[in-house]
A and B are shown apart, each in its own frame.
Chain A
Amino acid sequence: MSNRLLLDKDHLVVAKPGHDATNPSLAEGDKLFDSSWLFSSTIVEAGIHVDQASYKYGRPPQNVIQWDVSTNDSYTQVINFTPLPFVPTVLLLPLADSRYWRENGAVLLSADKKNKYADYVQRQGSITVTNSQIRIPRIRSAAPNSDTWYFREDFIYVIMAM
């Protein structure tokens, strides 16, 4: 029977079934955890942020999934989380408009708005992270002397302990 746990004052190794944690040559892929690692996928918090901004236009008659929906609201979106003693690494994944999720039974991914709209739009500032907030300034139309509008944005967010 293999010894799957190595624990002393300064080192903890947990091996996968069938592997010996006390083996100093144990391959990384055969470990579940090693306290020598720099990161072990510890997650502080994860979820979905749904934009509360108004819709500039009504829903189109076609039954299609919109991903670039406009709003007249300009405010910066804020995702709050339990204050940490450090500023975490955050993963933000853009989503298609939340109006379409329930009828499709799924959370829906989005394209990058800059890839399609390029210089016609610009974010009003950098996305920033503190020890308790993610602040996401809105993307707005950039063309001068034109009707000013902004994008609604929904996100998956993952706050990592790193």
Chain B
Amino acid sequence: MADKIIIGKNGDEHGIWVARPGQTVQDGGPYLMSSVGDMLKIHAQGSIKSTGLNQSQGLWRHKLEVPFPELPFIPLAFMGLKTSSSEPFQFPPDLYNSIVTEFYGTGNWGYVSHLPKIGMSHKALYFVGWTDHYECHFNYTVFLLKLREKF
């Protein structure tokens, strides 16, 4: 039997399966939807205006901490700087301009290359980036998808 949608028993399991266009549930995965798997649901989404803190070589440095409704875990999140609130952003962001190299020892072995705090906790996003705009937008999407337990 060739089913596009099964709600009920499928082999030894019970649930919902929806096959991709041109496929049947009996063809196997990947499924368009399966009650056995998870889906990329959005927990928080938004756009924050940001103004540059300092300028170097024609670029403005932006630094943000953006809270979202607290979760019991650290979620997957996409984020980036753009000129408008609705403009798609590159992710992962190119953090090359955010790298800092400092010298603390002797000879070439004394150099330490480091980044500012850029990432996500269970309740906030942290971002530092450079753009050629003094005013820009920090666009983000936080998914209801657990990466790891919160710290």
Is A88 an interface position by the 8 A CB rule?
Answer: yes
Q: Which of chain B's residues have a CB closer than 8 A to the CB of A39?
A: 20, 32
A89 to chain B, nearest CB (A): 9
* Contact flag A161-B117 (CB < 8 Å), given A46-B146, A102-B151, A109-B95: no
A43 CA / B102 CA spacing, docked (Å) = 41
Give the number of residues in A that approach B within 8 Å (Cβ atoms).
Answer: 53
A86 to chain B, nearest CB (A): 6
Q: Name B residues whose Cβ lies closer than 8 Å to a Cβ of A.
A: 4-5, 18-21, 28-34, 37-41, 74, 76, 92-96, 98-100, 102, 104, 112-121, 124, 126, 145-148, 151
A8 to chain B, nearest CB (A): 8
A106 CA / B124 CA spacing, docked (Å) = 9
Q: Is the CB of B39 within 8 A of A42?
A: yes
Q: Is the CB of B4 within 8 A of A35?
A: yes
Is A78 an interface position by the 8 A CB rule?
Answer: no
A66 CA / B5 CA spacing, docked (Å) = 49
Cross-chain contact of A106 among B31, B112, B119, B146 (Cβ < 8 A)? B119
Q: Is the CB of B94 within 8 A of A43?
A: no
Q: Which of chain A's residues have a CB closer than 8 A to the CB of B94?
A: 111-112, 115
Q: Is the CB of A108 within 8 A of B30?
A: no
- Mask of A37-71 contacts with B, CB within 8 angstroms, 1/0: 11111111011100000000000111011111000
Query: What are some 10 contacts across the A-B interface (CB < 8 A)?
Result: A38-B20, A46-B38, A60-B112, A62-B104, A65-B115, A84-B30, A86-B29, A102-B151, A110-B95, A161-B37
Closest to B101 in A: A116
Q: Is the CB of B121 within 8 A of A10?
A: no
Pairs A-B, 4 closest by C-beta atoms? A41-B40, A161-B30, A64-B114, A111-B95
A44 CA / B29 CA spacing, docked (Å) = 10
User: Considering the complex, which residues of chain A in the window 118-154 have a beta carbon less than 8 Å from any beta carbon of chain B?
Assistant: none
Is A90 an interface position by the 8 A CB rule?
Answer: no
Q: Which of chain B's residues have a CB closer than 8 A to the CB of A107?
A: 74, 119-121, 147-148
A70 to chain B, nearest CB (A): 11
Q: Is the CB of B120 within 8 A of A33?
A: no
Closest to A61 in B: B104
